[in-house]
Structure 1
């Protein structure tokens, strides 16, 4: 590279971007191999220290933050928020806030605008103060349309505090009537989890079987031999679940069903393998997977980030409701029990959903009249039924 084409400022920006993009430690600038490489490319290059690298990363963060802030503020749309809390393995709390908006090119944008440590307490007041601080920092407190959260009592409290705070300056439309939207994927998770309690033993046997196989390298190898002897594809693989996330449980069951013959073969070869499901349990799990498949598709659709999902709510929920009603009336006995349990939970949460999600379906040009009539009919049936019960 010639003297005239080398730009030290551009080099610093590219190097800083490399550190951030590849999650490199600041001390990478002191790695002998990297220093030798850079000095070979340009012998007179003054390599920065780790403190300078840290400073450059902070400057780039501030610069990018300003660009995102300008992009949000110059858009003509309101901003919808999503937020969540996590606890790390050392019990530290973290909060994430994501902004969703339509830019001036009519493209859906999703930007994580804050992610940071959340000290205790994690009650409604503390969460409200933290979130309002974020909004003020980004200067978007008067641009908010809605916030979507998991269904938790602490969230209900802090949304009410935040709604009242934003209403003091008239920031919300219709005084925040459409402000709080419950996370649809989380509600589906709660509904299905309730139903899965009815078949907990069968699921537990599958879960323990997979844990057993993955418990040692010798067992993995023995299971792979069983897979080959059963003429199955080893690339599909067994999947362990997170018990609190039913969609991961569905994926686990689906993968286990594929390897049913391999598990049965392993049971014959390994006397220590005690948790292999019986034939009756395998049949039950297969039927349950077919019953739950539409709910998995619904959860998958709700979890999309590249496209709007509000218009999917009523068609998806209407389909789920019709499926549950059908299985409660005509399904085999244990599926009827699952459907009945899920319907109780379903009816509890349906009434609490925001009417704005119904309006979205009507405004969606891709919604055909047949679907729209069916959705409205189901919606009115459920609302009438729930009002009568209340």
Structure 2
């Protein structure tokens, strides 16, 4: 080796001659902080070096002497040049050649007297490098797709890092306890799959969960940062068992560039008591700033609790003060439709409750003991009926609906039970059964609508208006019922319906206008029915048209350009061509006689076009409105942006099964005892991770 090559490692100090360290974890303790942190791509693995300061004189001198690396060891290292103070003379600077490991990012000195021995030694003991043992067996597995004869051979090798990542995701997704990694038979099971597998401890699994959470959070933050549309949020409160801490869940809803509706959980944070509006608004502000979506915040869906009203006012004042909201925040507050529906039904059930007591008593009798339950099952067998009965919860009207539905189906079984069981002397009369049937039919209408509102995989804002219209029609029919108890129930529900309808009808109306099957003609028609065919319906409709036009103009100005007009029978002033049109007197004559019209806006063109025909009532649910707007975005560039923001607004803050659960939303026992940071990581990961695997792949021998 020439003297110049020996000197190429270090300029300004003696060459590296210290003994090889037996402790690789200490190898990078003396590294200066001037090193570049960017990892190389595969195309420049053998480039000369990554340089901290290209203009440094010592670096320039060293670069002239460097040669391209040839050893295969460098395929797993990046050469770096570092400037640091001389150990013997701190005033003097020296440059040092180091190699950064691609696996663990540790820095290994590049000592040319020893060749690449130092690098090779590190690779043999690197804790992050998979398959350190060159003799490790590779397993070939044959897989095929179900229903086909195509077989594919896949090579498998054990990677502890991959295994730990999979374990952390499994724990988060399937709600497993962290200490399952210490369960004897689980460890025994893993050993049976691969004897070389090393199970991590509970603390290591906890660290793996937090690391996976941080990685996926970074990916989601980047997705939201690059989002070209606005997003809407929903809030929901959870309760932890034992600790009774209140967790606030925030979920972000948006439509991506491919027009897919996305819902991602952003936070599960402990909210200190009392849960006042000021506390909740501060929490939402912190969350939006952390995720950098305050400028893209379009709407917030929350239930009708008093504290949420204060929260909404605080947020609107804050965001509107920064000009982030449209129409001074008129579209911002979306009241949870299922919560409003819940309040309307409970208000009406106060009247109807007394008429279903007889049926409830029958169910209580059957459920009171195992012997009575078995006797009832025997009578059902004799009647050739099948099914079970369930008790309801007073505060959950959907449980009352389920109780009535199941009991009415087994009505003949109750009648047979009264004949053979002398203790069963509470059989309802035929009139009471008929009353139960009428009330059950009323509740079924609300149950169907609440299920429609609770969708998170399809847009609901365009369906909300029609659902509310159905509720109005149902209440109207109950008000005209021949049964007094049904009329009283309908009148009670009407009071609550009118109170909430006026507070959310703007965003509901815009959502249905953006549905090409309905547009504004449907709004005009339903306003006359809901408000009455009088002057108020016309006034409310004109208010809506004014707000709709303001929103369109706001989006038009945000895009800094006017969308190209689309028209059929009208032409613009600038595009008129023909004999004599260059004559100013003739042009004035044409204008005065309305021979050609001014340019129409994109909104006017869309509203004037015929509505999209529907073949059957089922089309209301099968129609893919996002695909329609994706295909129509080129024709309606401004309206498509409005549709992308409005259709992403969820009309309910929770799924219906959670909204109507008997105990509210509650964290499981083993998660409730974890730290708040770990709870957030587990629950967010559970939401972010996909919920299925490639089920059409099966392993064959």
Q: Tell me the TM-score normalized by structure 1.
A: 0.89
Tell me which structure has the larger Cα radius of gyration. 2
Q: Which residue of 2 aligns with 1:163?
A: 316
1:271 offset after TM fit, Å?
A: 4.7
1:54 offset after TM fit, Å?
A: 0.7
Out of 226, 229, 232, the residue aligned to residue 80 of structure 1 is 232
Q: Which residue of 2 aligns with 1:337?
A: 488
Q: Which residue of 2 aligns with 1:316?
A: 467
1:311 offset after TM fit, Å?
A: 1.0
Alignment of 1:44-63 (within 5 A): 44-63=196-215
- Relative to structure 1, is the Cα distance of residues 222 and 144 closer, same or farther in structure 2, using a 3 angstrom cutoff? same
CA deviations 1:107-133 (Å, max 9, x no partner) are 111112222332211111111112222
Alpha carbons 1:108, 1:307 under 8 Å: kept: yes
CA deviations 1:62-98 (Å, max 9, x no partner) are 2222222222332222111111224455543222111
**Are 1:206 and 2:359 an aligned pair?**
yes
Measure, in 1, the Cα distance between the counterparts of 2:306 and 2:214.
35
Measure, in 2, the Cα distance between the counterparts of 1:82 and 1:183.
9
Paired residue secondary structure (2:190): helix
Alpha carbons 1:247, 1:299 under 8 Å: kept: no
Measure, in 1, the Cα distance between the counterparts of 2:481 and 2:183.
68
Alpha carbons 1:315, 1:371 under 8 Å: kept: no
- Relative to structure 1, is the Cα distance of residues 175 and 369 closer, same or farther in structure 2, using a 3 angstrom cutoff? closer
Q: Spell out structure 1 runs of 4+ moving beyond 6 A.
A: none
Out of 297, 321, 324, the residue aligned to residue 448 of structure 2 is 297
1:167 offset after TM fit, Å?
A: 2.7
Gaps of 5+ in 1: none
Measure, in 2, the Cα distance between the counterparts of 1:241 and 1:88.
24
Q: Which residue of 1 aligns with 2:615?
A: none
Paired residue secondary structure (1:352): helix
- Relative to structure 1, is the Cα distance of residues 71 and 226 closer, same or farther in structure 2, using a 3 angstrom cutoff? farther
Alpha carbons 2:233, 2:253 under 8 Å: kept: yes
Paired residue secondary structure (1:355): helix
1:286 offset after TM fit, Å?
A: 0.5
Q: Which residue of 1 aligns with 2:307?
A: 154
Measure, in 2, the Cα distance between the counterparts of 1:330 and 1:136.
53
**Are 1:180 and 2:333 an aligned pair?**
yes
- Relative to structure 1, is the Cα distance of residues 43 and 338 closer, same or farther in structure 2, using a 3 angstrom cutoff? closer
CA deviations 1:28-61 (Å, max 9, x no partner) are 2222223233334443433211110110011111
Alignment of 1:264-283 (within 5 A): 264-273=415-424, 276-283=427-434
Gaps of 5+ in 2: 1-135, 139-155, 541-701
Alpha carbons 1:195, 1:339 under 8 Å: kept: yes
Measure, in 2, the Cα distance between the counterparts of 1:316 and 1:47.
53
1:283 offset after TM fit, Å?
A: 0.8
**Are 1:285 and 2:436 an aligned pair?**
yes
Out of 403, 406, 413, the residue aligned to residue 255 of structure 1 is 406
Q: Size of the alignment, in residue pairs?
A: 385
Out of 373, 394, 407, the residue aligned to residue 243 of structure 1 is 394
Alpha carbons 1:318, 1:378 under 8 Å: kept: no
Measure, in 1, the Cα distance between the counterparts of 2:413 and 2:211.
56
Measure, in 2, the Cα distance between the counterparts of 1:182 and 1:361.
17
Out of 374, 383, 403, the residue aligned to residue 221 of structure 1 is 374
Instruction: Using the TM superposition, name which of 271-280 and 180-189 deviates more.
Output: 271-280
Measure, in 2, the Cα distance between the counterparts of 1:88 and 1:34.
28
**Are 1:71 and 2:223 an aligned pair?**
yes
- Relative to structure 1, is the Cα distance of residues 44 and 230 closer, same or farther in structure 2, using a 3 angstrom cutoff? closer
Q: Which residue of 1 aligns with 2:511?
A: 360
- Relative to structure 1, is the Cα distance of residues 272 and 141 closer, same or farther in structure 2, using a 3 angstrom cutoff? farther
Measure, in 2, the Cα distance between the counterparts of 1:180 and 1:316.
19
Alpha carbons 2:340, 2:500 under 8 Å: kept: yes
1:157 offset after TM fit, Å?
A: 1.1
Q: Tell me the TM-score normalized by structure 2.
A: 0.51
Paired residue secondary structure (1:178): coil
CA deviations 1:318-368 (Å, max 9, x no partner) are 222123223323533221121112112211221112412111111211327
User: Comparing both structures, which one devotes a greater share of its residues to helix?
Assistant: 1
- Relative to structure 1, is the Cα distance of residues 210 and 88 closer, same or farther in structure 2, using a 3 angstrom cutoff? farther
Out of 275, 293, 296, the residue aligned to residue 140 of structure 1 is 293
CA deviations 1:231-250 (Å, max 9, x no partner) are 2123xx22333332322321
1:156 offset after TM fit, Å?
A: 0.7
Paired residue secondary structure (1:351): helix
Q: Which residue of 2 aligns with 1:21?
A: 173
Paired residue secondary structure (1:142): helix
- Relative to structure 1, is the Cα distance of residues 49 and 375 closer, same or farther in structure 2, using a 3 angstrom cutoff? same
- Relative to structure 1, is the Cα distance of residues 276 and 97 closer, same or farther in structure 2, using a 3 angstrom cutoff? farther
Measure, in 2, the Cα distance between the counterparts of 1:223 and 1:88.
38
Cα RMSD between the aligned structures? 2.6
Measure, in 2, the Cα distance between the counterparts of 1:275 and 1:151.
40
More relative contact order in 1 or in 2 (CA 8 Å, sep 6+)? 2
**Are 1:116 and 2:269 an aligned pair?**
yes
